[in-house]
Structure 1
Amino acid sequence: MIKRLAVFILFVLPCLLFAQDFSALWQGHFSYNTIKDVVKGNNKIYAASENAIFSLDLQTNELSTLTTVNGLSGETISTIYYSDVYELLLIGYDNGLIEIAFDDDDDILSVVDIIDKPTIPPTSKKINHFNAYNNVVYVSTNYGISVFDIERLEFGDTYFIGTLGSQTRVTQTAILDDYIYAACLDGNGLKKAQVSSPNLIDYQNWQTVTNGDFLTVQSVENSLYTLRTNRRMYRVVNDVLTEVFQFPDLPVEVKTVNDRLLVTTQNSVYMYDSSFNSIAQANVNSTFSTAFTSATFHLDSIYIGTKDFGVLKTPVANPTEYEEIHPQGPLLNIPFAIQSGENELWVTFGEYNVFYNPYPLNNRGISHFKDDSWINTPYLDVLDAKCLNTITINPNNNNQVFISSFFSGLLEVTDEVPTILYNQTNSGLESLIISGNPNYIDIRVGPTKFDNNGLLWTVTSRVDKALKSFNPNNNQWQSYSLSEVINDVNLGFGDIAIGNDNTKWIASYQYGVIGFNENGSTPLMKSISKEEENMPTHYVTTLALDKRNQLWIGTFRGLRVLYNTSNFFTEENIRAEEIIIEEGGIAKELLFEQNITDIEVDGSNNKWIGTTDSGLFYFSADGQKTIFHFTKSNSPLPSNTINDISLDPSNGIVYIATNKGLVSFQSGGSSPLNDLESAYAYPNPVRPTFNIVDEKVKIKDISENVNIKITDIEGNLVAEAQSRNNLRYSGYNLEIDGGTAYWNGKNLANNVVASGVYLVMLSDLDTFETKVLKLMVVR
């Protein structure tokens, strides 16, 4: 019998919080290759990755996802359980959080009792296992057992069953007859108590069946099995343990599914009946070289969670062939660098730390999102390039992409295929030199950027001639030393920006902002990093030149702006400036002491700024107005640590790489065009079903400096806006965001207009080009 939960009870429980669904403007781009847990329920297979979940409908084979966009927390998932009785999915996390996803309901319920428990150390709150019995769930944790009433959605007692009632790690519980059994670590052994006892909170009511460290305990029909950390499985009869098998690898999971015992090791999945007779064994093979993590089964198929291929499906009768099952997504949930093109996004995963140390070296591939599909290139196909980071698309050839390796050089990818790895043997790139080890090769290429002449500029750490240009058309390299401003080799470079005057602005670890211009044959070179130059630190992390040629500087300890870049090399006392804002009547420095990771400028000259622990900010062009501040608590960001940001100017999508996954936000704006030839308005006509006030009419593909007048057919002015005055998010009825204008359908009297034909008159204020669009509104 299915039990549905009464809605009213949710309003009287203070530790239950509903999460918001953000799917209208946000999209998750999570990886589902690494699976933590697999369960069956309601004719579906549920699979949990690190911080997202997908389900497979066993009747239609449709895949669905559950992510931070739907309201999940983004924390690290440890285990899941589906209740057929109550039609809900329980999700347990490493930090003690429990979330509940209800069938046919968009709401995600967060249960924060364990997180908020001050008497339990944060390191001991991990949820290890859910065991449902009647109307309660026994929650095994790293401190003991908590009882959760699944019908009332509230916690009951907590059992501390370690020595003298101390906290101990309980890995699993099982119930057989009138006893609840608990598998414990920390030498606390296998314990049991009468499940009907009203006083299980008293540790003295728990008996020790045997001492030792136990990973699992499971009941199968009338049999009980338990597993020690010595890889031995035992049958428990009258509190006597009898060994039945020793596994070649330590099992990572043991569970009971439909009176079958499933044992998962990294290399195999074993299926037994209640008498421990072998039914099937599925093994890792060469086609899917991976490690198994979890398993379940349905009818005649086994579904196996893996570390690299999502879920593998194989027949019980002959488990040798596998079918790969998972939604599309990037290779991993640790995007380090991203770069968008027109309707595409490239992703790398090869991080280095804040000291620009890539060790231990990582071997990871690349991911490419194009035409709403993911193309993943594994490490085996990237020519042995390690620690891949910055991505740069050739603006003259979008099919040619250059990806920096912070150990191996520079990787060229053409038409999705890695073709050349530039290193010390075939290019102008150089390896750092370690005294006493002349054969050691380590080429640490970081930020790259194309200039207006089609040259790719790169910076390499810990070499004398750090700055190099590369011409993809003739394979010519040119090297430049920065020794005039760098006294010794620099640990790393965070970013590079190139101005219209061909000045290269370089973010340095030890030497602040470095400006470099070839200036013919006499290069100009200068840096600012000192306190007297108003720099908060010499460690500069990111740079961005805005549409006014102002240099925005992100550092390890705050934000600065170089307002006049044209006289950088000639003015003797150059200074960077902080941005002072008023907050509650008090003058404050914008982003004071924040570690800034990236700055991106959109079509309206507004700034997207990422930080290491405060999430993502969206500021007006001058920084005086905070338009958005996205964090884990108010958005689908899976983490407040922003690694990188990239804007797709063709559609206004903002891609955000965090240390726990990739998401995107539909900001709506786009980059302006050079003329008004392609300008259009949509929807057109505006039908009665369209919510014009909230969804707004868009006027797309306008130029950078434009005046827009909207009139009725008789010429009466309805609305007017100008590019640099009526900016979006300013509260005007007609607003402009880069190459897109937004009209909420209201006139000068702030009333929604009547049905009729309206004229949208566009006038470019620089070229004097004009265009008139007709827009029909039907109310």
Structure 2
Amino acid sequence: MFKKLVVFVVYIIPICLFAQDYSASWQGHFSYYNIKEVAQGNDKIYAASENAVFSLDTQTNQLEEINSVNGLSGETISTIYYSDAYELLVVGYDNGLIEIVFDNDENVLTIVDIIDKPTIPPTTKRINHFNGYNNLVYISTSYGISVFDLARLEFGDTYFIGDGGSQIQVNQTTIYQDYIYAACSGSNGIRRALTTNTNLIDFSNWEAVTTGNFTGIESQTDDLYAVRSDKRLFRVENGILTELSLYQDQPLDLRKVNENMIVTTRNQVFIYDSAFNLLSQVVVDTNNFPTELTSATIDDNFLYIGTKNFGVLKTELLNPVTFEEVHPDGPLLNIPFSLQAKSNGVWVTFGEYDLFYNPYPLNNRGISHLKGDQWINLPYNDVLEAKSLNRISVNPFKNNQVFISSFFSGLLEVNEETSIILYNETNSGLESLVLPNNPSYIDIRVGATTFDSNGVLWVTTGLVKNQLKSFDLSIKQWRSYSLGKIITDEFDNNGFADVVIDGNQTKWLASYDFGVIAFNENGSNSVKNISTEEENMPSKYVTALTLDKRNQLWIGTTKGVRVLYNTSNFFENNNVQVDEIIIEEDGIAKELLYQQYIMDIKVDGSNNKWIGTSDSGLFYFSSDGQKTIHHFTTDNSPLPSNSIRDISIDDVNGIVYIATTRGLVSFQSGSSGVLETIENAYAYPNPVRPGFDIVEKKVKIKDISENVNIKITDIEGNLVAEGQSRVNQRYSGYNLEIDGGTAYWNGKNLGDNVVASGVYLVMLSDLDTYETKVLKIMVVR
């Protein structure tokens, strides 16, 4: 491996990058049910889902995930290939990106030559197939063939093999009798050229074997086989095609493993010996595994089949009767839409509706729940046929009771991971929209929901007169409220992106075309909004709302962020104004997130703000927005996409869950929620052992209250470190930092030196209640 890396450094630093392993702070929560392709090598089976890969060690049955946390890009995977000779996995993508994962190496090599090629249109850069031959990999793409040298880790030539040197789609290549054969689309047939020819970039050195639309080609011992788009498989000999099989469905994958030829269709797998005699024909039991197949491979006496819904199915090659489902634990899909985190995990839906709150075409996608370390998935069949599931609310007084909005079917109640009831127009206060030309049509668009402090669920609905509902679970009573003073016609507002409730029980709603709407059923002036430029709103389309720990309302719109600092007198104030946040950048005053499309805003335990954008990744700001603590993108983090859909924070454990358009990841921020007292405060690790990197990993003091002073002294009473809430904030460079309900000590004293072995006292004082507590920490160096 060292030799290969040296060659890489010398030759190709300008075109390649090593991606970092982020597993210390990040965790990927990817779905591995929809397998695009399988490969085998080095006693492992590799399977690629949409944007992540897993491997199965056939000797130990150990599963290993390879995703954006390990260094993959998170882009859409199109094909994979494993090289036994060089012990590496090559991953190809729809956009032309190539990544190389080395065995027993934390780094992933990213190759952007094809992406950066200006002469190739972006729509034709897809990687269709890898064919390894000696030290080379022939890359079949939608423009032709490129060559990559695995020994030198660098690109060679690119062949445009169409008539007149035009770019044509090549689906697969193979080497047969010193020729490289290419199966081509668009009636370009099969083309070949001598591998010994040193001038294959000259299209005239490529000859047409036959015409037609060919999807696959593979050699086996003394024979050459090709698959045409009319479901036929041929033996190719001296330019003559002999039909061997007509399949019921189009072959999707053609490959040779050892001396066996494998043909995979969407419903069956056919395995042939070296003389093309049928050894085994595998039909998956659709009663237990209703799915389509994508590809298959062999290892020892077992067949491994990639599927669209069940990961990899393992069965005996010659006795394919029983099937074992193989894949890492994960959510149903890699397109999370909405999240709701709690201390033991997170709920996920896969929606969705579009920018204009249009749920069509309706989707049937189920829900997922990460409970502890296990994913519990409820497919569509288990959610009472509720479609377009989106927002999630967990009962704060009964965490196993969850309400999930459907933007077509109503409101789904789930108890203990079991769907209990679907509330609709027949059994609740929910209403269907009414179409004048089709009054019998039922469409109940439930969106953002939240619980108030009394355990009453507040529900928003679109395209109806009474847009706001309340559901008192204790007495099973529904009430309806109209926002007609603001929204005069039910079809004027398609839906609501968010609803939050403040300490005065005012409901704040993020509307589609009316800005922020405030509603309080107890007030005389119960409905009011803010939406105009005169009120300093950059857009009427509000996409996110959150109330921070100072009762300030943070507002996300399609054109930036605003803050309503005084929410208490909103109804009485006749001149309400929201404020932008002005920051200084390079000596110039600028508006924070100017003109950015904001997707979500969340507040953590230390009142800092997490803000997700539609195309610029994820921001983490200080409580007032003046300091950017982190700006995570696909370039500097495991985010699989810069398009953030939702954020949810587990305040107890300091975990930030981030839903993107290409999958779910989480970040261990460490910022936990504060407690009312310091009674249960504790420190860990304790004792601090010699192998622990105290400076980098730090000692944590957990479960502290909102306003504390912390002094750390040695056993003789000498002050070692001191910190105070709202002063010694995290990421500020102090040796003792406080972030919400957790304090961090880097083991250094006032002289900025790491302390010696000994016992240290942690003295906590709540500055509001005068409560005190003393902890002891043993440091062993």
Cα separation, 2, equivalents of 1:747 and 1:154: 50
Residue in structure 1 matched with residue 214 of structure 2 by the alignment: 214
Residue in structure 2 matched with residue 78 of structure 1 by the alignment: 78
Deviations 1:650-703 (Å, cap 9, x if unpaired)?
110110000100000000121011101101111222222221111111111001
| 1:10 match: secondary structure | helix
Which amino acid in structure 1 is aligned with residue 109 of structure 2?
L
Residue in structure 2 matched with residue 99 of structure 1 by the alignment: 99
Which amino acid in structure 1 is aligned with residue 574 of structure 2?
E
Residue in structure 1 matched with residue 535 of structure 2 by the alignment: 533
- Check conservation: 1:4, 1:87, Cα contact below 8 A: no
Which amino acid in structure 2 is aligned with residue 452 of structure 1?
S
| 1:436 match: secondary structure | coil
| 2:400 match: secondary structure | strand
Q: Tell me: CA distance 1:493–1:19, structure 2 relative to 1, closer, same or farther (3 Å).
A: same
Residue in structure 1 matched with residue 615 of structure 2 by the alignment: 613
Which amino acid in structure 1 is aligned with residue 421 of structure 2?
I
Residue in structure 1 matched with residue 390 of structure 2 by the alignment: 389
- Check conservation: 1:512, 1:529, Cα contact below 8 A: yes
**How many equivalent residue pairs?**
776
1:736 aligns with 2:738: yes
Deviations 1:443-474 (Å, cap 9, x if unpaired)?
00001100001100010011110101101122
Structure 1 consecutive aligned stretches of length 4 or more whose deviation exceeds 6 Å: none
CA displacement at 1:225 relative to structure 2? 0.6
1:130 aligns with 2:133: no
Cα separation, 2, equivalents of 1:772 and 1:552: 37
CA displacement at 1:625 relative to structure 2? 0.1
CA displacement at 1:49 relative to structure 2? 0.4
Structure 1 residues 386-535: aligned runs within 5 Å: 386-489=387-490, 490-519=493-522, 522=524, 524-535=526-537
Which amino acid in structure 2 is aligned with residue 462 of structure 1?
L
Residue in structure 1 matched with residue 249 of structure 2 by the alignment: 249
CA displacement at 1:713 relative to structure 2? 2.3
Cα separation, 2, equivalents of 1:65 and 1:704: 39
CA displacement at 1:4 relative to structure 2? 7.9
Which amino acid in structure 1 is aligned with residue 588 of structure 2?
I
Cα separation, 2, equivalents of 1:274 and 1:343: 54
Which amino acid in structure 1 is aligned with residue 155 of structure 2?
F
Cα separation, 2, equivalents of 1:470 and 1:46: 49
CA displacement at 1:523 relative to structure 2? 5.5
RMSD: 1.1
CA displacement at 1:318 relative to structure 2? 2.1
- Check conservation: 1:581, 1:589, Cα contact below 8 A: yes
Which amino acid in structure 1 is aligned with residue 531 of structure 2?
S
Deviations 1:265-299 (Å, cap 9, x if unpaired)?
11111111233221111123221010000100112
Cα separation, 1, equivalents of 2:525 and 2:571: 11
Residue in structure 2 matched with residue 370 of structure 1 by the alignment: 371
Cα separation, 2, equivalents of 1:721 and 1:80: 52
Cα separation, 1, equivalents of 2:476 and 2:215: 59
Residue in structure 1 matched with residue 357 of structure 2 by the alignment: 356
Residue in structure 2 matched with residue 759 of structure 1 by the alignment: 761
- Pick one of 5, 8, 11 that aligns with 1:7: 5
Deviates more, 1:684-693 or 1:582-591: 684-693
CA displacement at 1:118 relative to structure 2? 0.8
- Check conservation: 1:229, 1:250, Cα contact below 8 A: yes
> Structure 1 vs Structure 2: percent identity of aligned residues?
67
Cα separation, 2, equivalents of 1:742 and 1:190: 65
Deviations 1:728-776 (Å, cap 9, x if unpaired)?
1111111101100011112222222222222211111111111111222
| 2:45 match: secondary structure | strand
Which amino acid in structure 1 is aligned with residue 398 of structure 2?
N
Which amino acid in structure 1 is aligned with residue 553 of structure 2?
L
Structure 1 residues 65-464: aligned runs within 5 Å: 65-285=65-285, 286-464=287-465
Residue in structure 1 matched with residue 771 of structure 2 by the alignment: 769
Structure 1 unaligned spans of 5+: none
| 2:151 match: secondary structure | coil
Which amino acid in structure 1 is aligned with residue 388 of structure 2?
C
- Check conservation: 1:5, 1:86, Cα contact below 8 A: no
Residue in structure 1 matched with residue 605 of structure 2 by the alignment: 603
Deviations 1:234-267 (Å, cap 9, x if unpaired)?
1111110111111111111111111111111111
Residue in structure 1 matched with residue 701 of structure 2 by the alignment: 699
Deviations 1:51-82 (Å, cap 9, x if unpaired)?
10001101011111101000001111111111
- Check conservation: 2:346, 2:370, Cα contact below 8 A: yes
| 1:6 match: secondary structure | helix
| 1:164 match: secondary structure | helix
Residue in structure 1 matched with residue 639 of structure 2 by the alignment: 637
Deviations 1:585-640 (Å, cap 9, x if unpaired)?
11100000111111110110000000010000000000000000000000000000
- Check conservation: 1:733, 1:745, Cα contact below 8 A: yes
Cα separation, 1, equivalents of 2:244 and 2:530: 71
Cα separation, 2, equivalents of 1:535 and 1:235: 68
Structure 1 residues 690-729: aligned runs within 5 Å: 690-729=692-731
| 1:515 match: secondary structure | strand
- Report the TM-score when normalising by structure 1: 0.99
CA displacement at 1:6 relative to structure 2? 2.7
Cα separation, 1, equivalents of 2:43 and 2:724: 56
- Check conservation: 1:515, 1:527, Cα contact below 8 A: yes
Cα separation, 1, equivalents of 2:583 and 2:740: 24
- Check conservation: 1:4, 1:86, Cα contact below 8 A: no
- Pick one of 648, 651, 659 that aligns with 1:649: 651
| 1:397 match: secondary structure | coil
- Check conservation: 2:231, 2:246, Cα contact below 8 A: yes
Residue in structure 2 matched with residue 30 of structure 1 by the alignment: 30
Deviations 1:379-424 (Å, cap 9, x if unpaired)?
0010010000011110000110000000000000011100000000
- Check conservation: 1:544, 1:552, Cα contact below 8 A: yes
Which amino acid in structure 2 is aligned with residue 90 of structure 1?
V
Cα separation, 1, equivalents of 2:217 and 2:394: 54
1:683 aligns with 2:682: no
CA displacement at 1:5 relative to structure 2? 4.8
- Check conservation: 2:4, 2:153, Cα contact below 8 A: no
- Check conservation: 1:411, 1:420, Cα contact below 8 A: yes
CA displacement at 1:709 relative to structure 2? 1.3
| 2:744 match: secondary structure | strand
Cα separation, 2, equivalents of 1:611 and 1:394: 28
CA displacement at 1:347 relative to structure 2? 0.4
- Report the TM-score when normalising by structure 2: 0.98
1:58 aligns with 2:58: yes
- Check conservation: 2:525, 2:571, Cα contact below 8 A: no
Cα separation, 2, equivalents of 1:276 and 1:758: 75
Which amino acid in structure 1 is aligned with residue 132 of structure 2?
A
CA displacement at 1:212 relative to structure 2? 1.3
Deviates more, 1:708-717 or 1:201-210: 708-717
Which amino acid in structure 1 is aligned with residue 88 of structure 2?
L
Which amino acid in structure 1 is aligned with residue 358 of structure 2?
N
Structure 1 residues 517-596: aligned runs within 5 Å: 517-519=520-522, 522=524, 524-596=526-598
Cα separation, 1, equivalents of 2:772 and 2:691: 31
Cα separation, 2, equivalents of 1:559 and 1:360: 31
Cα separation, 2, equivalents of 1:190 and 1:757: 77
- Check conservation: 1:619, 1:625, Cα contact below 8 A: yes
Which amino acid in structure 1 is aligned with residue 348 of structure 2?
V
Which amino acid in structure 2 is aligned with residue 185 of structure 1?
S
